[in-house]
Amino acid sequence: MPTVTFLPGYRKVTVPEGATLLDAARAAGLSMNVVCGGEGKCGKCQVYVKDGTVSFDREKYRRFFSEEEIARGVCLACRAYVVGDVQVEVPAGSLIEEQKILVEIPGMQEIPLNPAVRKYEVRLEPPSLEDTTPDLGRLLEGIERQGGPPPNRVYAPLGVLCSLPQVLRRSGWHVTATVALVPGGYRLSSVDEGDTTGRLYGAAVDLGTTTIVAYIRSLVDGRILATASNYNRQISCGEDILSRVNFSRRSGLARLQQLAAESINEALTTAADAAGIDREEILEVMIAGNTVMTHLLLGIDPAYMIAEPYIPVVRRMLSTAAGRIGIAAHTNAGVYTFPAVSNFIGGDIIADILAAGMAEREEATLMVDIGTNFEAVLGNSDWMLSCAGAAGPALEGGEVLFGMRANPGAIERVRIDPDTLAPSVSTINGLRPRGICGSGLIDLLAELFRACVIDRTGGINLELDHPRIRKGQYYPEYVVAWKEETSIGKEIVITENDIKSLIMSKAAIHAACMTLLDAAGLAPGDISRVCFSGAFGNYLNKENAVTIGLIPEIPPECIENIGNGAITGANIALVDRRRRKELDGLARRITYIELNADPSFMDRYTSSCFLPHTDIALFPHVQQTLEACRAKQGVRSWQA
């Protein structure tokens, strides 16, 4: 079989003739950037053949390449077939980069501890001719004496029974039993030699489409011992959910199941190593993921979720043994997945709701989780409404000329001097700018609007005579950073086209929020707070978010960033069995509003495609501020 060598790392792999370079890269453990899932559609998996040849129809994919790239031997890895030994260079841009993953959440230590799994140290009388109680009965009686559940309520899995006689005898009848509360009773999850009551761990996992975050905590005292995060290895099978589902239809669900488990295992291993514990000591795992991710992890076919009428197989909380789905914890550890409301309001959003404490308050909260898609939930302890939609990739830096993910070098904060129109920017890790990420784009939009560089439709005011404002090749543009300031050898600009994409994205979110409010018969003033969940919300300038009309106007002090709500919610459900038990009921209580089926949503969307909105009266405070700005600036008129 031919050998494929990947440069610059000289990773070698042997693949059958006819395999694609993408197959080979996967086999070599390289995470290639395959937005389309390997269908030759996104042009992101570019590689250069350095030695040897591949079979690749360059003419067919010509549109993805510059002349220079073609001259250097560019190919699409997903469409180049191995015909013999070959050396291939993979440019950094074709690999998935290290991203800023939101891991730490303030206040996480204070969750009340009431775990579903407990340990009991028992010292047993050895059996004798006078007391021939069997091993299991003897142990269960000991557990009951230590305050555990009565023997007839405890189910003992075969795996535990198979090792029980040896463990009891080797330990001199001094063991620690782990007992988990499960529906209908208790399960004897594990029996260890000696006293291990101090070592009882649980893991909370945020299973994101892009990233995995894991927390390991002691279930004895609730302490967080370690956190870890890494990419979801499924990215090599497609960046977004749709391409993952398509990959699973094409190449089988099993691979995606395995990659999901491996991704979680990577995080668990890193965290366990950092915590100085053995993964085998993790006795419960609580996983929050969206509906498709949850299906994939459990090996349940998500195919029917992506075509009308968009039906998931299961919505309820599921529990299974870690060993059953290849999770690297104790083989009998209970793995619990959050329930979902619908395809689009998944377990991650239920975890957000838990993190936001929405169901514990009488006052209404509006919770918004923004990514490529957005989800919004409005409600209180009595009722909850939810909806979801596509925000488009603009807010995450996609489809914006110099947009990028929240990677090092991304501009994440922008201020524009209203007099000089000069921007001051800060970047992730303080590097020279490479592009602009979501929070930077929101800032830019608000600042350009306040400085009257753009009007309410997002149009750039070319009449302003300023070196940063110019006509551009295709669209009017504003120069955010000059060539010599950046690390990419060219200027970073934002175009009018970029701005319009951003406005469409924010409009969808605003219209969704208004649809929920209207369905509940509430006005923005009736909401006690807005919670942003997720990385995007976390780095967002709250005032700017209101200024551009991303959300209805409420005072900035009522806006909270709850951070990574999915991992916070997973932590809560991990340590507090009472809260976990309520989740199915909570999910069932949430009404899902299908925006596409709501005729008023389109009207609201159209009205929201302005800064901040067609009806500026909906944003009285923004109006006031803008008027003050304009009055001060004087020189530039505010175009109504």
Burial 380-416 (b: 16+ CB within 10 A, else e): beeebbbbbbebbbbbbbbebbbbbbbbebbbbbbbb
Q: How far is the CB of 314 from a copy of itself (least distance, A)?
A: 4
- Closer residue to a copy of itself (CB): 308 or 557: 308
Binding mask 292-311 for a copy of itself (x = CB under 8 A): ------xxxx-xx---xxxx
CA gap 290, 210 in Å, rounded = 11
Residue with tokens 């390997």: 38
Indicate the pairing of strand 86-89 with strand 46-51.
antiparallel
Range in contact with a copy of itself (rule: CB under 8 A) among 127-135, 384-392, 393-401, 414-422: 127-135
- Closer residue to a copy of itself (CB): 91 or 326: 326
Q: How far is the CB of 376 from a copy of itself (least distance, A)?
A: 18
Task: Return the SS3 of 74.
Answer: strand
Cα 123 from chain centroid (whole Å): 46
- Of positions 9, 134, 252, 620, contacts a copy of itself by CB under 8 A: 134
Cα 424 from chain centroid (whole Å): 30
The edge-to-edge listing of strands for the beta sheet with 410-416 is 423-427, 410-416, 435-436
| Binding status of residue 314 toward a copy of itself by CB under 8 A | yes
| Binding status of residue 252 toward a copy of itself by CB under 8 A | no
Adjacent-strand bridge partners of 473: none
Query: What amino acid is encoded at 219 in this protein?
Result: L
- Closer residue to a copy of itself (CB): 78 or 288: 288
Could you write out the DSSP letters of every residue in 452-479?
Answer: TSB-TT--B-TTS--TTEE--SSS-EEE
- Of positions 594, 603, 615, 627, contacts a copy of itself by CB under 8 A: 594
CA distances in angstroms from 391 to 345, 414, 505, listed in the order given: 15, 22, 5
Range in contact with a copy of itself (rule: CB under 8 A) among 62-70, 107-115, 180-188, 205-213: 180-188
Indicate the pairing of strand 384-390 with strand 590-592.
parallel
| Binding status of residue 155 toward a copy of itself by CB under 8 A | yes
State the number of binding residues for a copy of itself (CB under 8 A). Answer: 49
Binding mask 363-402 for a copy of itself (x = CB under 8 A): ----------------------------------------
Long-range contacts of 521-525 (CB under 8 A, 24+ apart): 522/364, 522/378, 524/552, 524/553, 524/554, 524/618, 525/554
CA gap 346, 291 in Å, rounded = 5
Q: Is-contact 375 345, C-beta < 8 A?
A: yes
| Binding status of residue 325 toward a copy of itself by CB under 8 A | yes
- Closer residue to a copy of itself (CB): 131 or 465: 131
- Closer residue to a copy of itself (CB): 313 or 422: 313
Q: How far is the CB of 377 from a copy of itself (least distance, A)?
A: 17
Q: Is-contact 264 327, C-beta < 8 A?
A: yes
- Closer residue to a copy of itself (CB): 89 or 598: 598
Tokens at 180, concatenated: 């988990």
Q: 155: exposed, middle or buried (C-beta count within 10 Å: 0-12, 13-18, 19+)? A: middle
| Binding status of residue 262 toward a copy of itself by CB under 8 A | no
Neighbours of 473 (CB within 10 A): 7
Binding mask 204-243 for a copy of itself (x = CB under 8 A): ----------------------------------------
| Binding status of residue 432 toward a copy of itself by CB under 8 A | no
| Binding status of residue 165 toward a copy of itself by CB under 8 A | yes
| Binding status of residue 172 toward a copy of itself by CB under 8 A | no
Tokens at 13, concatenated: 């792999």
Q: How far is the CB of 139 from a copy of itself (least distance, A)?
A: 10
Of 328-347, binders to a copy of itself (CB under 8 A) are: 342-343
| Binding status of residue 73 toward a copy of itself by CB under 8 A | no
- Of positions 66, 110, 128, 473, contacts a copy of itself by CB under 8 A: 128
- Closer residue to a copy of itself (CB): 66 or 128: 128
The edge-to-edge listing of strands for the beta sheet with 11-14 is 11-14, 3-7, 86-89, 46-51, 74-76
- Of positions 307, 597, 617, 631, contacts a copy of itself by CB under 8 A: 597
| Binding status of residue 315 toward a copy of itself by CB under 8 A | yes
| Binding status of residue 312 toward a copy of itself by CB under 8 A | yes
Which chain residues interact with a copy of itself by CB under 8 A?
Answer: 127-129, 131-137, 152, 155-156, 158, 161-162, 164-166, 169, 182-185, 298-301, 303-304, 308-316, 318, 320, 324-325, 342-343, 584, 592, 594, 597
